[in-house]
Amino acid sequence: MVEDRVNRTGRSMLAGAKDVSPIILGIIPFGLVAGAAVIEAGLGLPEAIGMSLFVNAGASQIAATALFAEGAPLWVAIGTALVINARMLIYSASLAPILAPKATRRGKILLGHPLVDQAYAATMTQGRFRDDIDVVPYYVGSWAILASVWQIANIVGALAGSFVPPAWSLDFTVPLVFLAMLVPALKTHTDVEVALITAFAAALLVPVLPMQTGLLVAIVAGMAWGAMRHHDTELAQEGEAG
The pLDDT of residue 148 is 92
Pair 65, 177: CB distance under 8 Å: no
The backbone torsions φ and ψ at residue 173, rounded to the nearest 5 degrees and listed phi first, read: -70, -25
Average pLDDT rounded to a whole number, residues 180-187: 68
CA distance 95 to 139: 10
The model's pLDDT over 133-143, given as tens digits with 9 standing for 90+, comes to 888 899 999 99
Lowest mean pLDDT among 50-54, 188-192, 235-239: 235-239
Pair 206, 76: CB distance under 8 Å: no
Indicate the DSSP class of residue 85. T
Of residues 184 and 68, more confidence is placed in: 68
pLDDT band, very low/low/confident/very high, at 17 (cuts 50, 70, 90): very high
The pLDDT of residue 145 is 93
Pair 55, 81: CB distance under 8 Å: yes
Q: How far is CA 145 from the centre of its chain?
A: 15
The pLDDT of residue 152 is 92
CA proximity to 212, closest of 65, 61, 51: 65
Pair 179, 52: CB distance under 8 Å: no
CA distance 174 to 180: 10
pLDDT at 14 over 80: yes
Q: Is this prediction's pTM over 0.85? A: no
pLDDT band, very low/low/confident/very high, at 210 (cuts 50, 70, 90): confident
CA distance 228 to 138: 36
- Long-range contacts at 135-138 (CB < 8 A, ≥ 24 apart): 135/12, 135/98, 135/99, 135/102, 136/12, 136/99, 136/102, 136/103, 136/107, 136/111, 137/9, 137/10, 137/12, 137/13, 137/16, 138/12, 138/13, 138/15, 138/16
The pLDDT of residue 242 is 61
The model's pLDDT over 18-32, given as tens digits with 9 standing for 90+, comes to 988 887 877 888 888
CA proximity to 143, closest of 88, 90, 79, 180: 88
Pair 138, 130: CB distance under 8 Å: yes
CA distance 123 to 194: 28
